[in-house]
Amino acid sequence: MHDNPALLAAARDAARLYPTFIVDPWFVNPKRVGVNRMRFLLESLRELDGNLRRLGSRLIVLWGTPQEVLERALADWQIGRLCFERDTEPYARTRDEAIRSLAERAGVQVICPTAHTLYDPDELIELGRGKVPTTYGVFGRLAAKMGEPDAPVAAPSHLPPPGELEAEYGIPTLAQLGYPEPECPSGQMIPPGGEAEGLRRLHAYLSDRQRSAGFAKPDTDPTAFDPPSTTALGAHLKFGCLSARTFYAEVQKVYREVGKHTEPPVSLMGQILWREFFYTVGYATPNYDCMEGNPVCRQIPWEDNPEYLAAWSEARTGFPWIDAAMTQLRTEGWLHHLSRHAVACFLTRGDLWVSWEKGQAVFERLLVDQDWSLNASNWMWLSASAFFNAYYRVYSPISFAKKYDPEGSYVRRYLPQLARLPAEFIYEPWKAPRPVQKQAGCVVGRDYPDPIVDHEQAKARNLERMRLAYEQNAKGG
Ligand SMILES: Cc1cc2nc3c(=O)[nH]c(=O)nc-3n(C[C@H](O)[C@H](O)[C@H](O)COP(=O)(O)OP(=O)(O)OC[C@H]3O[C@@H](n4cnc5c(N)ncnc54)[C@H](O)[C@@H]3O)c2cc1C
């Protein structure tokens, strides 16, 4: 409800208002959107419906391809003005252009404000004389030239009612959408869906003024849980439960109060600017979510290896740090940024030499905060395909984890079969003598897999492959 200019524009001087959500079969597909994200969405819709009802309105849920159901609804409800927030993802752009044309053909006014991002990406690019920023530094200078983003707009205080409705149009359940019940309870690592939870978590996090002002992303802890060390607000930002402009404005308030604060790229404000940067490049780059035909992406001869991909995504690599993170991702739908780094590097240039596009698809399904531009950008980054070129800096699935969690409590939590292993072997169970494995109830090869590769050998081979690929790319090959 907060910072929703499309809702305000729709309600302005209207006698009737039809707040509509469309269950689009393109998204309602367990292969594309996993159960944790779908649950989060339904929680958010239920809360939105409650908030609308408090103001005399309600949410109307329609099912089907948006172009088709809207065309019918515009006629049936005699709509004069159609308002929706601008969405820059490719699927949404094609959909929204089609909707705009059909509405205009029907004589319906269309209002489509930008509010999902801090800035209008077209304005940013125009300010850069049409050149798309491909580094955070260039983007930061453009953003500084743009000045402060618009302040978030207040939530409405009353809304017009809908007209008579001939059906219930209620919010579906997970089962009605063809989903099973999720494995883990809602709100385990990230707060449950909805605006109230998003705002509550934002304010709770920012209430520790010193931590927020001193936030430095590389110092946050990937193995911290209950609560995680970062805001865990990605899903609320993605679904519009929390507006990016509100996030920005509230962090600014803290900075003003505290005075001294860290700076981008590592600061808390720097995080929301990463989001903005990647939205901007993703918006302006063709074929952004693939390697071929993507002008910002290096061409790297990844190998198709379904066994490696399955072992990685099903937490069977034999590297406890990687398998614990992939278990967290599957059960809870969330991973700390540095755990995302570790598993993405491992799948691609670090160990398994599998394309980032495959990893992107697994994240797309499992992450609750999955966001098209951010997912593609970060996968390109971690695979050293774009934005980042220090490909020789490889995360070790052993020493990286030890630094944060020498006792291995993160691994013990997500991989109970390793829970009784002594700390010295927790990241390398295959090195534990057989009697130690037996005593811990975890025999490698029986209760937990052998490592899928020798990390040092795989790393050396892949570094050489990366070196050659970089050489080819430099020659334009
Ligand atoms: C391989 C890989 C895939 C990723 N896929 C996604 C994705 O699909 N959706 C997603 O929201 N983030 C993605 N990220 C970025 C980042 O890991 C998450 O935004 C962050 O971990 C979410 O946790 P948080 O909300 O606690 O982040 P915080 O550190 O609290 O940051 C607050 C917000 O800033 C934004 N942000 C922070 N880091 C980044 C970043 N590196 N890039 C872009 N925006 C950022 C997010 O909106 C985030 O919620 C990915 C990272 C990697 C390495």
Question: 316-329 pLDDT, tens per residue?
Answer: 999 999 999 999 99
271 and 301 in a single domain? The answer is no
27 and 111 in a single domain? The answer is yes
335 and 227 in a single domain? The answer is no
Residue 476: pLDDT over 90: no
Residue 370 Cα to ligand 1 midpoint, Å, equals: 9
Residue 360 Cα to ligand 1 midpoint, Å, equals: 13
For residue 168, being part of any structural domain is answered with no
Tell me the C-alpha distance between 248 and 408, whole Å: 35
215 and 296 in a single domain? The answer is no
Answer whether 317's CB lies under 8 Å from 323's CB: yes
Residue with CA nearest ligand 1 atom 51: 378
126 and 110 in a single domain? The answer is no
Please give the backbone phi and psi of residue 110, each rounded to the nearest 5 degrees, phi first. -115, 130
Distances (CA, A) of 384 to 48, 72, 188, 348, 462: 40, 47, 32, 9, 12
365 and 261 in a single domain? The answer is no
CATH number for position 251: 1.25.40.80
For residue 170, being part of any structural domain is answered with no
70 and 208 in a single domain? The answer is no
- Mean pLDDT, the chain, integer: 97
The pLDDT, as a whole number, for residue 191 is 87
Ligand 1 atom closest to 205 (CA): 30
Residue with CA nearest ligand 1 atom 17: 337
Share of the chain above pLDDT 70, in %: 100
For residue 95, being part of any structural domain is answered with yes
406 and 294 in a single domain? The answer is yes
**Helix/strand/coil (H, E, C) string of 362-425?**
HHHHHCCCCCHHHHHHHHHHHCCCCCCCCCCCCCCCCHHHHHHCCCCHHHHHHCHHHCCCCHHH
378 and 269 in a single domain? The answer is no
Express each pLDDT in 259-300 by its tens digit: 999 999 999 999 999 999 999 999 999 999 999 999 999 999
Q: Residue 477 — very low, low, confident or very high, per pLDDT cuts 50/70/90?
A: low
53 and 106 in a single domain? The answer is yes
CB of 379 within 6 A of ligand 1: the answer is yes
316 and 355 in a single domain? The answer is yes
Domain end residue (candidates: 69, 92, 115) = 115
What tokens were used for 319? 């590297």
225 and 304 in a single domain? The answer is no
Q: How many domains does the chain have?
A: 3
Identify the domain containing residue 31 by its residue range: 5-115
For residue 185, being part of any structural domain is answered with no
Name which of 48-52, 224-228, 235-239 the model is least confident about: 224-228
CATH number for position 367: 1.10.579.10
Express each pLDDT in 349-391 by its tens digit: 999 999 999 999 999 999 999 999 999 999 999 999 999 999 9
Residue with CA nearest ligand 1 atom 2: 378
CB of 339 within 6 A of ligand 1: the answer is no
Domain end residue (candidates: 228, 248, 282) = 282
For residue 328, being part of any structural domain is answered with yes
